Amino acid sequence: MTKKVLLIRVYHKNALTVFPPLGIGSLVEYVKERSTEFDFDLFDYCLDNNLDEFIKTKYSGIKPILIGISTLLRHFYLAIEIAKRLKQILPGVPIVMGGAGPSSLMDMVLENDSVDYVIYKDGEIGFLKLLEYVSRGGSPSDVPSLIFRSKDEIRINEPQVVHEEEIQIPDFDFLRLPEYFKRFSHVMLGPRKTYYAITTRGCPYSCIYCHHLFGRKVRFIPIEKILSSFEKFQRKYNFEWIDFSDDIFNIDEERAMKIISGIRRINRDIKFSYPNGFRVDIMSEKFMDFIGCNNTRFLSVAIETASQRLQNLLKKNINLEKAENNIRYLSRYNIPIITTFLFGLPTETLNELIKSIRFAFGLPITYASFLRVVPHIGSELFEILSDEQKRIIMTSLKSDLHYHNIDVNLSNIPDSILNVLQRFTGPVYYLRPRQIYRILRDTPARGLLQGGKLISQIALGRARE
Ligand code: B12
Ligand code: SF4
């Protein structure tokens, strides 16, 4: 008899931007490749409403052997509430948490009695071994990447990363992909019939505000696997867009070009978007010409600051001159480009912030985001906070911690000035005739209408991202 496993993807209700839970999808496929013993149910807070009802329907007279909860740090407080509720309605069923949030908090997660286990960083190998352990017995010490209670102490097992050949692509039917077609995965793009791809794990850079979730060695999923999965679902759903959300999709340009060509051989007209980012200062002209001629319809590049001093301090180390030259080069293709800038960086001066704003205003791009830097626990940036600042961040984990409402200012700029600049830079940026013209020129009408509505909501502070 198959053993039931309940998986829960935590997210806010009313979130504007939603994304299929690719992490859960990869875990399930990894286990299914190796065992027919387990049967998975998914409750996805982006799509589903009533957990109690769901459990009543799926688990009358039967219990799952394990509940797995996936959460980002931002939704951790919700994940804990959900775990507490599950302990009431499914008493005795062990609960494991995984994902970027628990991987940052590590053993702190187990300060909550309602969670029994954490699996940190890559989840695949640890998750399969944990399923085997809860269903057949053995020792938790043999489960890689596991954090667990043992008598009076909390034990952290060594992590084990999955080999690049063994990373599985999600079954998008299990993730109910068509229900995501009606939603926004990015504020600027609107609802789209999109296939979601992540083709690598890991990033070689060392930005101090990052979690380095998958380590610094880049693992490349075999191209044939990426293309065959795309082809299979393309036949079924006839996608209009493909999003690549790799940390840095252009880390290996030759490979990136092979993937793009392969996708276009399967669907010539598909539109490409890269919402999670390209590293713009490493692009060659050949690569920029290639993406310029291959249906690129959205490209995100993170600049963060126009101060070279702060680039070095952040260990982002973007070569600003090359970045600017490459953005200007790309602009000949009228690709909608979005760049991000972070406000309130450690030791940032008013002059440096104004330099960043002027830099953003001068770039030939379509969109710019001006966000407050959030020192997330688990990042190097968090370690430079004062005890009081750490306390504020830890307290805000009990509610909502976001780029738009952070109370920690690490810069040398007074709070009042920083807040005013953060609130008004976006609206001033978008209300310039030049910017309105670019948006009209570069963005498809549907995205523009919806994007405009959302930008104004965000500017007025009413929307949640
Ligand atoms: C796509 C994406 C998004 C999507 C949605 C992500 C989601 N999962 O729901 C969108 C665009 C909405 C988004 C938004 C944000 N994101 Co984001 N995002 C990503 C990105 C690029 C890919 C996520 C992904 O699918 N990865 C691939 C899968 C395979 O990995 P995974 O989900 O982590 O799953 C693996 C393990 O974590 C684990 N696992 C996951 N779940 C579970 C559950 C169990 C039970 C177990 C055992 C294991 C397990 O196993 C999986 C396989 O190994 C990551 C960067 C990255 N490389 O992962 C950032 C990342 C997750 N985002 C991050 C951040 C900071 C944000 C924002 C706060 C940024 C913002 N601008 O506001 C928002 C918050 C979301 C919100 N609306 O409130 C951080 C996470 C920080 C943290 N510790 O929580 C990341 C890691 C980026 C980084 N480099 O720091 N994001
Ligand atoms: S480039 Fe992105 S993924 Fe890589 S270290 Fe910096 S923030 Fe993290």
User: pLDDT tens across 206-234, in order?
Assistant: 999 999 999 999 999 999 999 999 999 99
Residue 324: what pLDDT?
98
C-alpha of residue 35 to centroid of ligand 2, in Å: 34
Domain 184-459: state its class.
Answer: alpha beta
Find the helix or strand (DSSP H, E) in which 38 lies: strand 38-44
3-state secondary structure of 279: coil
Pocket test for ligand 1, best of 27, 31, 72 (most atoms within 8 A of CB): 72
3-9/66-70 β-pairing: parallel
Find out whether the beta carbon of 381 lies less than 6 Å from any atom of ligand 2. Answer: no
Question: Domain 3-156 is classified in which CATH homologous superfamily?
Answer: Cobalamin-binding domain (3.40.50.280)
- DSSP state letters, 62-113: ---SEEEEE--GGGHHHHHHHHHHHHHHSTT--EEEESHHHHHHGGGGGGST
C-alpha of residue 434 to centroid of ligand 1, in Å: 34
C-alpha of residue 413 to centroid of ligand 1, in Å: 31
The partner residues of 44 in beta bridges, in order of sequence, read 9
User: pLDDT tens across 19-36, in order?
Assistant: 999 999 999 999 999 999
In this prediction, residue 464 has a pLDDT band, given cuts at 50, 70 and 90, of very low
Residues 6+ apart with CB under 8 A from 131: 3, 5, 31, 35, 37, 38, 65, 66
Find out whether the beta carbon of 7 lies less than 6 Å from any atom of ligand 2. Answer: no
Find out whether the beta carbon of 361 lies less than 6 Å from any atom of ligand 2. Answer: no
Higher pLDDT: 74 or 328? It is 328
3-state secondary structure of 189: coil
Residue 463: what pLDDT?
43
Task: Yes or no: say if 261 and 267 are a contact pair by the CB < 8 Å rule.
Answer: no
In the chain, domain spans: 3-156, 184-459
Pocket test for ligand 1, best of 97, 199, 245, 273 (most atoms within 8 A of CB): 245
Find out whether the beta carbon of 227 lies less than 6 Å from any atom of ligand 2. Answer: no
